[in-house]
Each structure stands twice: as C-alpha cells, then as structure tokens.
C-alpha cells in the first residue's frame, strides 16, 4: 500500500525515529501505525516514551519590535538545559521574526523545523503563546524582557498613546512584575466580579461584620480585588503611593500583553 508523507511524519513525531526508518516501518507493517511503532522499538530505533505525552514546563520567551509592530513568542520544552541551548533559542528567534514579518499564523511555517528539533534535542518541544501588537501611527510600543540564565522568561509589550518611550518602557516593566490580568475594571467579566463579591460577603459575615455594614465593607474589599488584577488600579511598582492610572496622567494604555515561562 502507498505510505503517505503525513503518516511518516506522524510516526516520526510519536517515536523520535528517523524519516527513512519510519517509512520502512510502515512499509513492513502495511501501514499499521501501532505495528510500525513496535517494529521500530524492536529495531532499537524508537524513543522509550512518546515525547508528546511529556510536560513542557520550561522554555524561552522571545520578543521583538520592528517599527510599530511588536511580537512575543513562547517556545516550550521540558528542561531548562534544552531551553538554554543555542539551537532552541535560535528557533525561538526565527519564530518571533516570522510573527513580526507575517503575523501570528506564520509560526506554522516552522512546524517541520520544530519536529526536527524534537528529535535532535530529544524533548517534547511546542509553540506556546504567540502575540503580535500592531500599534497605531503615533503610538508608542513599550517592552520589557526579563532574562534568567541567559534566556528570556517574562516578556511584555504595551501600546500607549500620548506617552514617551520612557513611560511606555516603565509601564512594561511594571506589568512584568505586577502581572495584571485586565486593563481596567470594566474589562473584568461580570461573572468573575459577582463571584468575588459573593465570596467577600460570606467572608465579611463570617468575621462578624454587622449586617447593615456589609455592603460598604464588601465594596471596599472589592476595590482591593481590582487593585490586584486591573493595571490602571494597581499601585505603581516603583512608587506605591500612586496608581498606574495616576502615573500615566493624560496618556492612555491601549493594550498590553504578557507571556511567561511557568
């Protein structure tokens, strides 16, 4: 029977065996994938465990800005040893360059190269978060990439209007360490707010707060909740006496993105 390139590639990914060995295995077993895996194992040509089943908790974050376009890509692997390797970091650089040049979907062009890298480095390797921000004319793109062990592990992009390059960078640094989930209170889904309000009401009641005072107590505590998750409400990392919203003044944060390892 005819053996397709797709079948060969799938067997290669699941076993770590070479392309020609996978083709031979499928030919020898009339295209039976499970039998082909056993054939490769008996020949000593297959990895002992399927790489796709192993956790990819390590990796590298790459960030690039070209003009008014910024991109972040996370490439995932299993160990920090592989994450720090030159081959792995070079592939991450290729990916982020593609996203800047062509868009988020362009990472698919590196599928074959990543499959090869899995075999060479003997780990489960996959693309994680991919972000691209196209800033409007006149806006500023701020960025920050936190390095650890010679590799990026925490990348941030933020688009601002009416801001200097320095302010946009400072906000990116703040985001990296404060980890806001939303820009403003209005962005938080109502079901999340309702759930938090109900939790705070139960907590306050259990603490013995007077029933008549509960609405005011809960709203006060809900303000603290927003300070944790909303960028504009957060105390500024370098001066917690002012919020990010107060710090930026008349400038505006249009959007932001954060990508981390772990």
Q: b/e per residue, 134-153, with b = 16+ CB within 10 A?
A: ebeeebbbbbbbeeeeebbb
Tell me, yes or no, whether 22 and 97 share the same domain: no
| Residue 16 contacts residue 122 (beta carbons within 8 Å) | yes
User: Where is pLDDT greater, at 6 or 24?
Assistant: 24
Task: Please give the tally of structural domains in the chain.
Answer: 2
Residues 250 and 127 reside in one and the same domain = yes
Asked if residue 88 is part of any domain, the answer here is: yes
CA distance 40 to 49: 12
Q: What is the CATH number of the domain that holds 16?
A: 1.10.8.10
Instruction: Indicate if the pLDDT at residue 147 is higher than 70.
Output: yes
Residues 37 and 64 in one domain: no
- The boundaries of the domain holding residue 161 are 58-183+244-260
Angle between the 5-15 and 33-42 helix axes, to the nearest 10 degrees?
Answer: 50
Mark whether 256 and 139 lie in a shared domain: yes
Which has more confidence, 132 or 116?
Answer: 132
Q: H or E element: which one contains 79?
A: none
CATH classification of the domain holding 159: 3.30.479.20
Residues shown for the chain: 262
Asked if 67 and 167 sit in the same domain, the reply is yes
- pLDDT, tens digit, 9 for 90 and up, residues 77-130: 999 999 999 999 999 999 999 999 999 999 999 999 998 998 899 898 999 999
Contact 129, 72 (CB under 8 A): yes
């Amino acid at each position: 029977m005819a053996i397709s390139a797709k079948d060969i590639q799938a067997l290669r990914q699941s076993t770590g065996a070479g392309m020609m060995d996978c083709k031979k295995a499928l030919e020898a077993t009339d295209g039976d994938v499970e039998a082909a895996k056993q054939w490769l194992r008996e020949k000593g040509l297959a990895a002992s465990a399927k790489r796709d089943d192993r956790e990819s908790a390590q990796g590298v974050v790459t960030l690039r800005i070209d003009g008014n376009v910024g991109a972040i890509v996370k490439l995932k692997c299993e160990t920090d040893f592989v994450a720090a390797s030159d081959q792995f970091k070079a592939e991450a650089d290729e990916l982020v360059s593609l996203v800047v040049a062509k868009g988020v979907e362009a990472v698919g062009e590196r599928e074959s190269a990543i499959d090869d890298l899995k075999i060479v480095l003997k780990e489960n390797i996959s693309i994680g978060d991919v972000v691209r921000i196209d800033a409007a004319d006149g806006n500023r793109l701020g960025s920050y990439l936190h390095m650890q062990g010679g590799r990026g592990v925490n990348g941030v992009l933020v688009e601002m209007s009416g801001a200097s390059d320095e302010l946009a960078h400072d906000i990116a640094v703040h985001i990296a360490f404060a980890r806001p989930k939303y820009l403003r209170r209005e962005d938080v889904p109502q079901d999340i707010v309702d759930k938090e309000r109900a939790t705070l009401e139960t907590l306050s009641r259990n603490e013995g707060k007077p029933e008549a005072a509960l609405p005011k107590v809960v709203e006060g505590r809900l303000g603290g909740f927003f300070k944790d998750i909303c960028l504009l409400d957060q105390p500024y990392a370098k001066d917690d006496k002012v919020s990010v919203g107060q710090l930026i003044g008349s400038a505006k944060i249009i959007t932001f993105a954060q990508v981390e390892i772990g």
